[in-house]
Amino acid sequence: MIRGRIKHWTETLFVDHPELSLPWMERMKMLAQPQAEGLRKIFQRREVPSGGRILDLACGLGRISINLAKAGYEVVGVDISPLYLRLAQKWAKKESVDGKTIFYRMDLRNAPRLLASKAEKFDAMINVGTSIGFHDESYDRQLFRSLTTLALVDVES
């Protein structure tokens, strides 16, 4: 329990025991470049500008964020795990894209409010992996509706 509330299982797994998923995340790095290239093609079809601002939800080690930054995008990655974010920052620096990436620690449940308070706006938002769906479907719809207020482009077009 944290400050009078029950800790969600995702906090226990990704904050208290992030090392459990770390081997899987490291293995997924080898898929990141082709996945980022696929996203880049989708961005082109959706008229996301080259060099646009991308929000990477539950970015983990930054595998997609870093590869999109290498393709010229400005990327904000958010994740609940301090360990994963430290590793993402270290990797971004090693790849010389630390000036094109920024990583924030936040629970997705708080992302719309926290990002809005930073006056962040994005050309596209992504979640590559299995980090959505930990709650019920109506919660997920509301999360995405809230996040669309941060979009620079019309998400309905």
DSSP labels for 18-41? GGGTHHHHHHHHHHHHHHHHHHHH
Q: What is the pLDDT of residue 152?
A: 60
Contact 108, 78 (CB under 8 A): yes
Q: What is the pLDDT of residue 154?
A: 45
Q: What is the pLDDT of residue 43?
A: 96
What is the chain's length?
Answer: 157
Please name the helix (run of DSSP H) or strand (run of DSSP E) that holds residue 145, with its range, or none. Answer: helix 137-147
Nearest to 14 by CA among 59, 66, 67: 59
Nearest to 85 by CA among 64, 65, 61, 63: 61
Q: What is the pLDDT of residues 26-72, one digit of tens each?
A: 999 999 999 999 999 999 999 999 999 999 999 999 999 999 999 99
pLDDT of 146 strictly over 70: yes
Whether this prediction's pTM lies above 0.85 is answered by no
What is the average pLDDT value for the chain, to the nearest integer? 85
Rounded to whole angstroms, what are the CA distances from 18 to 6, 81, 109, 128, 140? Answer: 19, 7, 19, 18, 23
Which ranges constitute the DSSP H helices of 48-109?
A: 63-70, 82-94
Q: In what order do the strands lie in the sheet with 101-105?
A: 101-105, 74-79, 53-57, 124-126
All structural domains of the chain: 9-150 (3.40.50.150)
pLDDT of 93 strictly over 90: yes
Confidence tier at 133 by pLDDT (50, 70, 90): low
Least confident of 12-21, 37-46, 81-90: 12-21
